[in-house]
Amino acid sequence: MDASQVSQVTEMMYALRNPAGVPTYPIIFIGLGVLTFALHILFVQLMLGTSAITLYGAFNSNPYWRRLGAAMLEIAKVSVSVAIVVGVAPLLFVQVVYDPHWYTSNVLSANWVIGFIIILILAYWAMYYFYFVNGKNQDKTVQPTSRWAMILSLVLMLVVGFIMHSLTSQILHPELWKEWYIQNGVLDYSGSALHAYNPWRFAFFISLAVPVAGGMLVTYRRFKMVREDADHDYLNWAAEVGKKWIKAGSVISTVLYVAWMMTLPETAGDFATSFWGIAGGIAVIFYAVWAQLRLKGEANFCSYMALPMALVVGLVVAISREMLRYGILNDFFHYDFMDYKVVMDWYSTGLFFLTFAIVGGSVLAYFLTIAWKTGQTVGVYTPSAAVNKMGTIAIWIMIIWMIQFFVVGFYIWAK
């Protein structure tokens, strides 16, 4: 593209901006977007990895694999819920700062955006159908039935992942928006096409499910081994599988990351050899090195670090991903989110952080405590007075939050 064409694209992007501006500094939205994306993608990869284990266990005659598959199904169905809830946050932050790009991408592929929700619901239902059909079977070593439902669920989850991958890729090609919108001189209102994708990028993020699932298996062994009824032979076997998955999966992901960097568009410039371009690949291979050094023998103490380390890797990759997006839109097309008009709204900004820290923190602390105690208790778990008090406090915090929400809303409406 010549300078005049780039200038026209830049003017178009600025013209599509929300004239109302943003309620706080754009860098805050970007920082939160990166953090919440790292959390979201961790649970996506955890869901994909544990779903794959469930499916493999369902077809395997080894009683250990069948037992592990049943256990990982519990992780998979929870991970789907968490991934969906946490995934709302980075989506909101992107559409606030990159609104010209995100909304244009959605309009260009509107049918797929709507289909995303429908396909995701079907994938969720299929997973739960498999779960409920086989939930009555107390002997987890028996081959489960309705395995087609789990296959369908995993395939549909990959489809919705590809849709989101394509929508995100379309953001990075503003120079092609008009070309996609006008087909052979005719305006295309259908929104029926996905216009941009990079198979190496998609494969990279999907492949991370392997080392992340490996981290889950290592953590699973550490978590279960303290129970009185623990089957240490089975748990040690699961941990060994997990360690292999971390190391092999990290190597595979690193290769795919390099392939992604090698196939970046020309608008990315020299990002592949820049600090953040290299840092993303180093972070992934570092996970394999860490597993090789720290997960030797029993390694009871550091086993709990397997998933937090996966989150750290994901955070570095998320930063690298954001720097790539900023590099293309700012360095090549001269669109800078940092010069977005700021109309400071202290109430909404403060409410967000207080909600995140206090409301979310109290509820999450209670749920994690219950999950922890239940998983390490043989038989039925009965919460202590302290745990019950945590739940009561969390409920009252949510009630107070809802009251202030409606009070402020009615106050503004009355004015």
What is the residue-wise DSSP string for 49-77?
HHHHHHHHHHH---HHHHHHHHHHHHHHH
If pLDDT is split at 50, 70 and 90, which confidence band does 298 have?
low
Average pLDDT over residues 63-85: 92
pLDDT of residue 139: 62
Distance of CA 141 to the CA centre of its chain: 31
Q: Which helix (DSSP H) or strand (DSSP E) does residue 182 occupy?
A: strand 182-183
- Alpha-carbon distance 272 to 263, whole Å? 9
Half-sphere exposure for 216 (CA within 13 Å, toward CB): 27
As given in the structure block, the two tokens for residue 387 are: 């745990």
- Alpha-carbon distance 226 to 223, whole Å? 7
- Which phi and psi (to 5°) does residue 183 adopt? -100, 115
- Alpha-carbon distance 11 to 36, whole Å? 30
pLDDT of residue 227: 81
Q: Could you give the angle at which helices 26-59 and 147-171 cross, rounded to 10 degrees? A: 150
Overall pTM surpassing 0.85 (yes/no): yes
Asked if the model's pLDDT at residue 275 lies above 70, the reply is yes
If pLDDT is split at 50, 70 and 90, which confidence band does 186 have?
confident
Q: Which helix (DSSP H) or strand (DSSP E) does residue 183 occupy?
A: strand 182-183
Average pLDDT over residues 339-350: 89
pLDDT tens column, 90-106: 999 999 999 999 999 99
Question: If you average pLDDT over every residue of the chain, what do you get?
Answer: 91
Q: How many secondary structure helices (H) and strands (E) does the chain include? A: 15, 2
Asked if the model's pLDDT at residue 299 lies above 70, the reply is no
pLDDT tens column, 14-31: 999 999 899 999 999 999
Indicate the residue type of 255. Answer: V
User: Which of 356, 332, 329 has its CA nearest to residue 99?
Assistant: 329
Q: What region, left, alpha or beta, does residue 299 occupy, with left being phi > 0 and alpha being psi -120 to 50 degrees? A: left
Half-sphere exposure for 190 (CA within 13 Å, toward CB): 9
Going by C-beta distance under 8 Å and a sequence separation of 6 or more, which residues neighbour residue 393? 362
